[in-house]
C-alpha cells in the first residue's frame, strides 16, 4: 500500500482485499451512500469524506495525509491481512463461495457510541429505514460539517441526547426505539456505561455491560462487539443469518442458540469476518429471503 497527495486528494495504491461496495453493503454501517459517479460520500468519526475506487487504487477526496493516517487508515482496517483471513475461512465450499462474493469486505472500526445507537435503531428494521432515522437524528442534533461545498452532520454526542426526552425524538420516526436511545445516552453521559472500562473487558464481560442498556439484546450486543469494539469473534445472529446458516449448514430449522454455538466452534476468533462474508453472499444470492 502506497499513498500520495494529488492536490487536495489522497491517492492510495496497491490495496488488496478491498472493495467499497462490499464494505458498505454488508450491513455494518449506515451513513455511506453511493453517488452517481460511483463514489461514496459519508460521515464517520466526526469527518465527512468522499471516496472512490478504481481497481487497487482508492482516492480520498479533499483530505490530508494526517487525516488518512490518524482516522481513515484505522477506520478501514487497512493494516489487517484479509488474505490470510479468507484463506483460513475458505475451508469448505460454502465459505469459499461466500469469500469469493464478498472478498473486498473489511470490518470498519467505528465509534462505539454511534455503533450502540445505530444498532439499537436497527432492531426489527430494514437498512433504508435505519439510514433515514439516523440521518434525521444527525440533522436534528449533530454538528454541521462543511465539506466539498456541502453541509453534513456529525453523529450527536451522548450528552446532547441525554438532555432530551423520548418525545423529543418523534421527528426522527424511530418509533419504540426512542426511549432506548435516550436510555443509552443517559447511561453513557453519566458514566454508568464507561467506554474505557468496556474496552478493558473480554467479549463476554463487555456484552454483559452492553446488555444493561434497554433495547440491547443478544444480537444487537454482538453487533456492537464486532463493529464498535473490534471483538472479531462475535457472530451476530438475527432471523436472516439464522435462515442462511440453516440453509448452508443445518438440515432444517434450528434455534438461534444452536447457530451461535455452531459458529463459535467452526469459526472461532474469525466469527465476525465469517458472518459478514455470509451476509453479503446471501444478500447477493437471495439466500434465506
Closest CA to 278 of 245, 255, 253, 254: 245
7-50: pLDDT as tens digits: 999 999 999 999 999 999 989 999 999 999 999 999 999 999 99
- Per-residue confidence band for 288, with pLDDT thresholds at 50, 70 and 90: low
Closest CA to 26 of 272, 289, 288, 266: 272
Residues 51 and 125 in one domain: no
Same domain as 179, residue 136: yes
The label of the residue with cell 492510495 reads 12
Q: Which of 52, 131, 207, 219 is catalytic?
A: 219
Instruction: Name the helix (H) or strand (E) containing 161.
Output: helix 158-162
What pLDDT score was predicted for residue 289? Answer: 62
9 belongs to a structural domain: yes
Q: Would you say 31 and 42 are in contact if contact means Cβ atoms under 8 Å apart?
A: yes
Both 164 and 183 in one domain: the answer is yes
Is residue 58 in some structural domain? yes
- Determine contact, residues 195/187, Cβ cutoff 8 Å: no
Asked whether the whole model's pTM tops 0.85, one would answer yes
Q: Is 219 a catalytic residue?
A: yes
Helix or strand holding residue 53 (H, E): strand 47-54
51 lies in the same domain as 156: no
Res. 283 pLDDT band, cuts 50 70 90 = confident
Domain count, the chain: 3
Confirm whether 136 is domain-assigned. yes
Distances in Å between the Cα of 130 and the Cα atoms of 79, 126, 172, 201 are: 30, 6, 10, 29
- Domain holding 248: CATH number? 1.10.1670.10
Task: Mark whether 217 and 116 lie in a shared domain.
Answer: yes
**In a domain? residue 17:** yes
The pLDDT, as a whole number, for residue 282 is 87
Domain with 129, as residue range(s), is 112-228
Q: What mean pLDDT is predicted for residues 150-157?
A: 98
Please answer whether residues 128 and 99 qualify as being in contact, where contact means their C-beta atoms are separated by less than 8 angstroms: no
Amino acid at each position: 500500500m502506497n499513498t500520495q497527495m494529488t492536490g487536495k486528494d489522497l491517492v492510495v495504491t496497491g490495496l488488496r482485499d478491498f472493495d467499497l461496495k462490499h464494505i458498505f453493503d454488508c450491513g455494518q454501517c449506515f451513513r455511506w451512500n453511493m453517488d452517481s459517479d460511483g463514489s461514496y460520500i459519508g460521515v464517520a468519526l466526526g469527518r465527512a469524506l468522499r471516496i472512490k475506487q478504481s481497481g487497487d487504487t482508492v482516492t480520498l477526496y479533499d483530505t490530508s495525509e494526517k487525516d488518512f493516517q490518524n482516522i481513515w487508515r484505522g477506520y478501514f482496517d487497512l493494516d489487517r491481512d484479509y488474505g490470510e483471513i479468507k484463506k483460513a475461512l475458505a475451508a469448505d465450499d460454502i465459505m469459499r463461495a461466500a469469500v469469493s462474493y464478498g472478498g473486498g469486505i473489511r470490518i470498519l472500526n467505528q465509534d462505539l457510541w454511534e455503533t450502540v445507537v445505530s444498532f439499537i435503531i436497527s432492531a426489527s428494521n430494514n437498512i433504508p429505514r435505519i439510514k433515514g432515522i439516523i440521518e434525521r437524528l444527525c440533522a436534528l442534533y449533530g454538528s454541521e460539517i462543511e465539506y466539498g461545498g456541502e453541509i453534513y452532520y456529525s453523529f450527536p454526542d451522548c450528552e446532547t441526547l441525554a438532555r432530551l426526552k423520548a418525545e423529543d425524538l418523534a421527528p426522527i420516526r424511530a418509533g419504540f426505539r426512542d426511549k432506548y436511545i435516550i436510555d443509552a445516552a443517559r447511561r453513557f453521559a453519566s458514566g454508568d456505561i464507561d467506554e474505557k472500562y468496556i474496552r478493558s473487558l473480554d467479549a463476554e464481560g463487555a456484552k454483559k455491560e452492553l446488555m444493561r442498556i434497554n433495547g440491547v439484546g443478544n444480537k444487537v450486543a454482538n453487533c456492537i462487539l464486532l463493529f464498535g469494539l473490534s471483538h472479531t469473534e462475535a457472530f451476530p445472529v438475527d432471523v436472516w443469518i439464522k435462515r442462511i446458516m440453516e440453509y448452508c449448514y443445518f438440515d432444517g430449522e434450528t434455534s438461534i442458540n444452536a447457530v451461535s454455538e455452531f459458529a463459535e466452534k467452526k469459526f472461532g476468533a474469525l466469527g465476525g469476518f465469517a458472518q459478514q462474508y455470509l451476509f453479503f453472499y446471501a444478500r447477493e444470492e437471495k439466500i434465506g429471503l
